[in-house]
Structure 1
Amino acid sequence: MSKPEIKDYGFKELFPGKEPVVDVVAIHGLDGHRENTWTDGGILWLRHFLPLSLPRARVLTYGYDADTQHETCVSTQNIHRHAQKLAQSLSMNRKDDPRRPIIFIAHDLGGIILKKVYQMNDNSTRC
């Protein structure tokens, strides 16, 4: 099993959308990959099929080190660090239109990281 490379981490735009009104963000799970997780039979459905139904959606996928299987090096990041990185990367990636709605597709650990982002944001706005 090959370990994802650093170039596979962070956001990748799969479809820019035609005058986008929403962002779709896919976050893989444990031992996943930002593209391979969403591939079936060699077809990346986020790129090939989703835009057919949502042509005005910008489609993004997010990769992070979630490796637990590699023989020599596994992830040492914790949920909080993954969530911080996701929140920072999301903010930077959406700086041109920060108020555009987001639809998240999260699998497994990706959902837990996303929940942590919401918790961190909720705690930072409290007095």
Structure 2
Amino acid sequence: SIIAVHGLGSNPDWAWRHEQTGAMWLRDFLPQSFPQARIMAFDHSSAWSMDAPVKSVEVCGEQLLHVLNTRRDTAEEMKRPIIFIGHSFGGIIIKKVRPLKFLCLLSRARRPEQKSMLGAIFLGVPHDGSRLTSVGKLISYTTYWLGSSTQLLESLQPGDESLRELNISFLQGY
């Protein structure tokens, strides 16, 4: 299985789509290279500038685990290796899956990602945070009346201790 996780303020419909041609990488090209793979896009609500959900990175990670738990139900599906592809904030969510497995947050005793996670491909992931967070927060503060939220942006502060700990935890999981 190949599971793609989009970035902050994005959605899978256009995160993986070429702007000029409309070709969707996950649908139009990846299956040609991996015809046996089950290719999925994890859709998480990550708007921050308007109508933003109030949730944390932990909640996003739990949602991804829940999807894994419900979509990989048979013994055969459980055996399939998973390769995650994360763009920007999506990579942070993927890294969150590793430590969450140890907290037993799944509703069932089994943990599909534990034995199945083969690897992760990170595309433009702000592993150490992003200086652009301050710009996003400024925009969010000035558009609060549109339902903006800084909660997800806060998790991408440069030098954030929880990001550092997440990096260490993820690397130790391999």
TM bracket, shorter-chain basis: 0.7 to 0.9
Greater strand proportion: 1
The structure with the largest helix share of the pair is: 2
For residues 39-92 of structure 1, what are the alpha-carbon distances to aligned partners after superposition, in whole Å with 9 as ceiling and x for unaligned?
A: 00311111011111111111100101100122xx11211111111111011111
Unaligned runs of 5+ in 1: 1-22
Moved over 3 A (4+): 122-125
Tell me the equivalent position of 1:79: 57
Task: Tell me which residue corresponds to 1:88.
Answer: 66
Structure 2: runs of 5 or more not aligned: 105-110, 112-174
Question: Hey, what does 1:57 align to over in structure 2?
Answer: 37
Q: TM-score, structure 1 length as denominator? A: 0.74
The yes-or-no answer on 1:42 pairing with 2:42 is no
Letter in 1 for 2:49: Q
TM-score norm. by structure 2 comes to: 0.55
Identity of counterpart residues, as a percentage?
33
Residue 100 of structure 1: aligned partner: 80
Q: Alpha-carbon deviation of 1:123? A: 4.4
SS of aligned partner of 1:106: strand
Which is greater in Rg? Answer: 2
| Count of residues in correspondence between the two structures | 101
Equivalent AA in structure 2 for residue 30 of structure 1: L
Q: Which has the higher contact order (CA 8 A, sep 6+)?
A: 1
RMSD: 1.5
